[in-house]
Structure 1
Amino acid sequence: MDFQERIQIKETNLLLKTDKKKFIKLAKNTILNERANLENYILRNKEFLTSYVPVEVEDWAPRIVKIMANAGKNADVGPMASVAGTISQLVVENLVENGCENVIAENGGDICLRCEKDTIVGLYAGNSPLSGEVGFKLKKEKIKRCYGVCTSSGTVGHSVSLGNADAVVVFAKEASIADAAATSIGNFAVGKEDEIINKCLEKAEDIENLDGVFVVSGEYAGKIGRIPQMIKTEKKVVLSELFEMI
């Protein structure tokens, strides 16, 4: 992908990689429109912003609101737990609808992508020895439609997490679903490092619509479901800096 730009609009900090420059402007417009839809809804429904549990929304609610509410319900968390992944998802969906063949949108560690080739996504897990050393090889058959790879951390970043995992990485067909699930699972990351892994994976078993989950806490790691092939990257980079189509 030849074109890359970081798009910062209020709380949204999205790294976009795509194959044509024209799609960058479309992505910016998508973010502006979807943020406006969300902000206008929150003005009339304050609970949507503050709730840590799922909320019901009206039939007339904007699509972004419905997607977030559904993701929160699926993972038993508040709807705002999925906001970053949902915006990534809506950006990619809109670009694909307009003819974009290869696109990756990473918003605070929450990724939606659609690519024609196998793609490696690097793992960033704070001070864990695994951080920057391994990546996930996503097969083109899996990502020829929009796909979500979202990460929650209790030790990295500013997002709210009630646990202390270095990284909870969730793979799902929808980034919104993956984002909310990563937050929900990460909230159970309490105790010693090995206990954190077990508690997170037990919670992951209870959440539907996920392909797989990978949890990192210090020197410990565990997985459940089907995760992509892991490969050694030998690149000390953060998640958003390693996207490699192969």
Structure 2
Amino acid sequence: MYNKSLEIEETILKISSDVNPDFLEECVLKRRSEIKNYCKINNSFLKSHSPVKFEKGPEIVKVMSTASEIAEIGPMGAVAGTVSEFSLKQLIEKGSRYSIVNNGGDIAFINQNKDKNVICGIYAGNSDISGKIAFKFKPSNKSYGLCSSSGTVGYSFSYGRADLVSIIAGKASIADTLATSIANAVKGKKDDEAIEKGLEKAKRFKKHFIGGLIVVNDSIGTIGNLPEIISIEEGNLDEYLQDTIS
């Protein structure tokens, strides 16, 4: 296995792969350059909080535009997940059967190794579940995107107050925009009310994702088909999960 950290301006990749990922630096530089050059031509692509009509441009811009249209947010809301997605695609083309590309918490991965699982921790600010549980992804022939958004953690802009919205989809570009869009709807004075509003928004996009998790303080909501949720600390949280996850 190869493990590599790659930092290029705002892009901070952590990569684990059965293929040497050193070649990805050049690929990421190229993709970033394509996005920046397109933004110079179409400045609204950079600043808009709603979808922008796609005009002729590079593939990565087209993918970001498509994801933004699905989620009804600005195209730059897809940038981190799309860079992860494109990086994973490059690794797969090199023959990878097991790769995880983590771009600041927006993750694209594939695991065709029957002897390995992919464990992704759930970190949700000051919530009591933060850092205590994780998604356990079993081997699959498919690749996935797992992306998150928050109104209380990190630097990303959000209209809502979710500690965490995590979305699992077939593509990280779509998971990224949907996580942002759903997190924007997590509003309300009461935690359960805020989660319900987030779930209502998520239902509109169900055909585009596999499963989702919403956390506000110590309240949790789920939608779709999530992988097994496991404890990542001493003790057994099965009873706690049964009581709090619906």
1:199: which partner in 2?
Answer: 197
2:90: which partner in 1?
Answer: 94
CA distance in 2, matches of 1:153, 1:30: 29
CA distance in 2, matches of 1:29, 1:161: 31
1:61: which partner in 2?
Answer: 57
**Is 2:114 aligned against 1:106?**
no
- Deviation string 1:35-71 (CA, Å, 9 cap, x unpaired) is 011111111000100111111112x311110000000
1:36: which partner in 2?
Answer: 33
- Deviation string 1:121-163 (CA, Å, 9 cap, x unpaired) is 111111111111111111212xx33210001011111111111
Question: Which protein is bigger by CA-based radius of gyration?
Answer: 2
Structure 1, gaps ≥5 residues long: 236-246
**Is 2:71 aligned against 1:75?**
yes
Structure 2, gaps ≥5 residues long: 235-246
Measured on the aligned residues, the alpha-carbon RMSD in Å equals 1.2
CA distance in 1, matches of 2:5, 2:197: 35
* 8 A contact 1:89–1:146 mirrored in 2: no
The Cα of 1:19 is off from its aligned counterpart by 2.2
With the length of structure 2 as denominator, give the TM-score of the two structures: 0.90
Taking every aligned residue pair, what percent have the same amino acid on both sides? Answer: 42
SS in 1 for 2:35: helix
Higher relative contact order (CA 8 A, sep 6+): 1
Moved over 6 A (4+): none
With the length of structure 1 as denominator, give the TM-score of the two structures: 0.90
Pairing 1:108-127 to 2, within 5 Å after superposition? 108-116=104-112, 117-127=116-126
SS in 1 for 2:182: helix
SS in 1 for 2:97: coil
Equivalent residues, number:
229
- Deviation string 1:198-228 (CA, Å, 9 cap, x unpaired) is 0111000011311111101111001011111
* 8 A contact 2:187–2:195 mirrored in 1: no
* 8 A contact 2:145–2:168 mirrored in 1: yes
CA distance in 1, matches of 2:142, 2:210: 15
**Is 2:201 aligned against 1:216?**
no
**Is 2:145 aligned against 1:152?**
no
